[in-house]
Structure 1
Amino acid sequence: MQLRPERPADAPAIASLIAQAFDGHPHSGGTEPAIVRELRAAGALTISLVAVDETGNIVGHIAFSPVTIAGRAGRWYGLGPISVLPALQRAGIGSRLMTDGLARLKALGAEGCVVLGEPAYYGRWGFAVHEGLVYPGVPPEYFMALAFAGGVPRGEVAYHAAFAAQA
Structure 2
Amino acid sequence: MWIRTESQDDHAAIHDLLAAAFADVPGHGRVEQRIVDALRSDEALALSLVADIDGRIAGVAVFSPVTIAGVERWYGLGPVAVSPQDQRHGVGGALIRAGLAELADTGAAGCVVLGEPAYYDRFGFRAHPGLRYADVPPPYFQALAFDDVIPQGEVQYHASFSAA
Interval of TM-score (by shorter of Structure 1 and Structure 2): over 0.9
Whole-angstrom CA distance in 1 between matches of 2:84 and 2:108: 30
Tell me the CA shift for residue 129 of structure 1. 0.3
Amino acid across the alignment from 2:18: I
Residue 141 of structure 2 is matched in structure 1 by 143
Whole-angstrom CA distance in 2 between matches of 1:127 and 1:74: 18
TM-score by length of 2: 0.95
TM-score by length of 1: 0.94
Tell me the CA shift for residue 123 of structure 1. 0.2
Q: Give structure 1 regions of 4+ aligned residues with deviation exceeding 6 angstroms.
A: none
Residue 129 of structure 1 is matched in structure 2 by 127
Tell me the CA shift for residue 140 of structure 1. 1.4
Classify the secondary structure of the residue corresponding to 1:162: helix
Residue 61 of structure 1 is matched in structure 2 by 60
Amino acid across the alignment from 2:5: P
- Which stretches in structure 1 are left out of the alignment for 5+ residues? none
Residue 84 of structure 1 is matched in structure 2 by 82
Classify the secondary structure of the residue corresponding to 2:147: coil
Tell me the CA shift for residue 24 of structure 1. 1.7
Q: Structure 1 residues 74, 137: closer, same or farther in 2, change over 3 A?
A: same
Residue 40 of structure 2 is matched in structure 1 by 40
Match of residue 156, structure 1, among 154, 157, 163: 154
Q: Deviations over 1:132-158 (max 9, x none)?
A: 100012111100000001410000000
Tell me the CA shift for residue 30 of structure 1. 3.5
Contact kept, 8 Å, 2:60 with 2:82, in 1: the verdict is yes
Q: Deviations over 1:54-106 (max 9, x none)?
A: 2x010100000000012x25100000000000121101100110111110010
Classify the secondary structure of the residue corresponding to 1:131: coil
Whole-angstrom CA distance in 2 between matches of 1:28 and 1:101: 25
Contact kept, 8 Å, 2:68 with 2:152, in 1: the verdict is yes
Contact kept, 8 Å, 2:129 with 2:138, in 1: the verdict is no
CA root-mean-square deviation: 1.5
Classify the secondary structure of the residue corresponding to 2:128: coil
Q: Aligned pairs, how many?
A: 164
Amino acid across the alignment from 1:6: E
Contact kept, 8 Å, 2:18 with 2:29, in 1: the verdict is no
Classify the secondary structure of the residue corresponding to 2:89: coil
Match of residue 104, structure 2, among 103, 106, 114: 106
Q: Structure 1 residues 47, 121: closer, same or farther in 2, change over 3 A?
A: same
**Percent of residue pairs bearing the same amino acid type:** 54
Whole-angstrom CA distance in 1 between matches of 2:27 and 2:152: 26
